[in-house]
Chain A
């Protein structure tokens, strides 16, 4: 069983690496095809009619053709070198490592929050389908999934920061707290409440609907009737028998959305001024910084692949049939 599981994981990782290679080549081409290069972006930023465009192109390695640049980049990758960011004038690795924790913290918390809230609301709604509680929850989820997350963010900010002054406005932490202390952790948590809600609520609504549908479907299954006939407690039937089956599509969805969530945080990171990977990616595009953008995409792809392997493993635990198929 363990050996099988390991082979299963290895196979998934193998395909993952191939995906990484394709992703990096395609993105390199796409960015190269966009009109204007890093030097154009820089000159547009600086203004004034001077600036030695040709000299900059040589210095930034842009005067080479597309293929030589791609080959250089790929050979760098083989040496685990993500290259030099032309827009920020420093190594890509450092930039990404600086921002990654913030994005992971934001997206991870939002995902966990969405999953926890969505599944529990789904269980509640699915307990008595078409009851009053279900109606309210369904209406709520419809509203939440229809609201764009940046707008929700601004509205939450208006209410909780401006009107009530309960929560801080933006950023990942206050500049005064010393890192590592308990007060720093609390401070970060306080800063995360609004962005995590803005990012997570829409996803929670989705999970709620998935979970509810699963619960309703499970309620009609034979094994639930059997469990009931055995005289098991209602609570046990709900959580052990129904919810365990109903949660499978939610877990699949979680895996699929891990990627979306990394990208979807661009807007939230801007609104709440969190220095994260999403904002960095947006800047990499406007500044035509190919090495930086590719670095971000590679790291994100790697994360998504890892998360999916993890999800596969979780699913195989929840439903042993997954490994066999």
Chain B
């Protein structure tokens, strides 16, 4: 279970630098980094709202994480131990044994981009008014946040009504704790504050302007707390909606970096033939996604676990990884990806590709092939989130046809898919691609737990309700002891594998494509959505 750590990765880690090791190669050290230059980046979408404290999503972070900082960032640990957190706005964090409070020590001498000083009241305000009440992810983790004490400018104590595992809090810090300037938000309507579109933060880059449909421009924040950083003078995001155009722009040098697989896999091979072009799968270790088959348990046939297992046996995960993802994905065994060494559980029921077994199970379940060779017919809604989720729909249709199940594919656009699956439940099977966010407690268990009202997106809208599953999830939510909590999540994975309310197919991460002179493109496991203070141009 220990993660093998390449020298290359080791050399890039910020933690290693903090330990005072002298590091050549791709890690920026004073001797080799050059300062200055504008990094030109491809952006394929423009989020409505650029406030990462309200919308904790990778689309928002991609731009906003350079401006607005969280309490801590995810980092590669130098000793190969599970991935850990390194300080950003908080320099220390300490959880009470009963899980009722977390004591944060905050960085001193930090100023907001408008010159105001940052202190504990900013953290208290954002936690109570934004993370807890408005954030898409925080509403789960911070649900029982009761109060935040600020004994002095450098200390904030979060108090919870129900115990919150400190482990969960730590794992949630990178994505869920972006801090907003209280002086700009207090007293007004937070949702309509102009700073949601023109973010003001403490990060290494200052937000300059957004020209819709054209570009975002960020500029070096001169008074950044980390001395000598950022290395870049600025970042320019060019809005390029067409994937072919992004590949071409990389070739000409109109852009330097395309992250989040903005270059299609088909173009990657051509690009790598160009001297020095970097294609990097690293730097996404804490940003994995899973292709999964979502199942509507309201449908009689699918409520039968034998039918769900049969479907699992009919899917060749390796083929999906090799063809749809061209080898850049790993067969999934459960809700937690293998890349999360902390929680991943190997010994779960495995469903190796075996269509004959699938057919036998369907016969046993009482669904023999009819005269036309079909057992029954299902509707299949592949989500339009990625090229690959749509292709997975086509694959599943063929795989099911082989075992006598007919699947009728309907492709909808995002809004219509959202409504059909998560509000109206008008589907039998769907292909989804949830993000895994460092800890199963953040946005994974919600896919398995029952009693969620209709209309809550990316949650269990599958009609699946199981008392034991709910109990395990409740236990994990209350487990303040980290070892105990890991054990509960191991049970969660085993039971999920047994019950198969959702069928995991493959885990995948993204690719970064960068021109030869860009350095430090995978410096941490959330690189694309981190602050890029240590990215530089050679």
Contact = CB atoms under 8 A, between A and B. Distances in A.
A and B are interacting partners: yes
Nearest to B460: A49
B241 A279 contact: yes
Contacts of B413: 36, 285-286
A287 B49 CA distance: 13
A41 interface: yes
Contacts of B455: 53-54
Interface residues of B, number: 58
A157 B245 CA distance: 9
Interface string B451-470: 01001111100000000000
Nearest to A52: B134
Contact of A275 (B55, B211, B414): B211
Nearest to A277: B213
Nearest to A43: B457
A35 B419 CA distance: 7
A196 interface: no
B446 A49 contact: yes
Interface stretch (B69-77, B247-255, B363-371, B504-512): B247-255
B191 interface: yes
Contacts of B57: 45-48
Nearest to B383: A44
A288 B414 CA distance: 10
A16 to B, nearest CB: 29
Nearest to A276: B213
A35 B420 contact: yes
Contact of B252 (A45, A161, A270, A279): A161
Contacts of B47: 45-46
B372 interface: no
Interface in B185-219: 191-192, 197, 211-215
A218 interface: no
A188 interface: no
Interface in A176-192: none
A136 interface: no
B414 A87 contact: no
A273 B138 contact: no
A273 B414 contact: no
Given A45-B59, A170-B240, A89 B245 contact: no
Interface in B345-394: 385
A175 interface: yes
Contacts of B45: 45
A45 B236 CA distance: 22
B135 A50 contact: yes
Contacts of B211: 275
A107 B17 CA distance: 54
Interface residues of A, number: 51
A43 B459 CA distance: 12
Contacts of A168: 254
B191 to A, nearest CB: 7
Nearest to B55: A46
Interface string B49-64: 1000001111110000
Contact of B417 (A36, A48, A279): A36
Contacts of A276: 213
B3 to A, nearest CB: 26
Contact of B418 (A41, A165, A171, A273): A41
A126 B49 CA distance: 57
A34 interface: yes
A59 B214 CA distance: 28
B140 interface: yes
A169 B252 contact: yes
A73 interface: no
B268 interface: no
A302 interface: no
Interface in A12-49: 34-38, 40-49
Interface in A86-104: 87-89, 95, 98-99
Interface string A275-314: 1100110000111100000000000000000000000000
B137 interface: yes
A225 to B, nearest CB: 54
Given A89-B197, A169-B254, A275-B214, A41 B415 contact: yes
Interface in B127-141: 134-140
B443 interface: yes
Interface in A227-283: 270-273, 275-276, 279-280
A6 interface: no
A95 B212 contact: yes
A107 to B, nearest CB: 16
Contacts of B412: 35-36
A7 to B, nearest CB: 42
A74 interface: no
Contact of B136 (A37, A47, A88): A47
A224 interface: no
Contacts of A271: 242, 244-245
B113 interface: no
B8 interface: no
Contacts of A137: none
A40 B252 contact: no
7 contacts: A45-B57, A47-B435, A47-B457, A89-B192, A165-B252, A270-B242, A273-B238
Interface of B: 45, 47-49, 55-60, 134-140, 191-192, 197, 211-215, 236, 238-242, 244-245, 248-249, 251-252, 254, 385, 412-420, 423, 435, 443, 446, 452, 455-459
Given A165-B252, A288-B415, 13 more contacts: A35-B416, A36-B420, A40-B418, A41-B415, A44-B415, A44-B417, A45-B47, A46-B60, A154-B244, A162-B248, A169-B245, A275-B239, A286-B413
4 A-B pairs with the lowest CB-CB distances in the bound complex, closest first: A275-B213, A36-B415, A48-B136, A41-B415
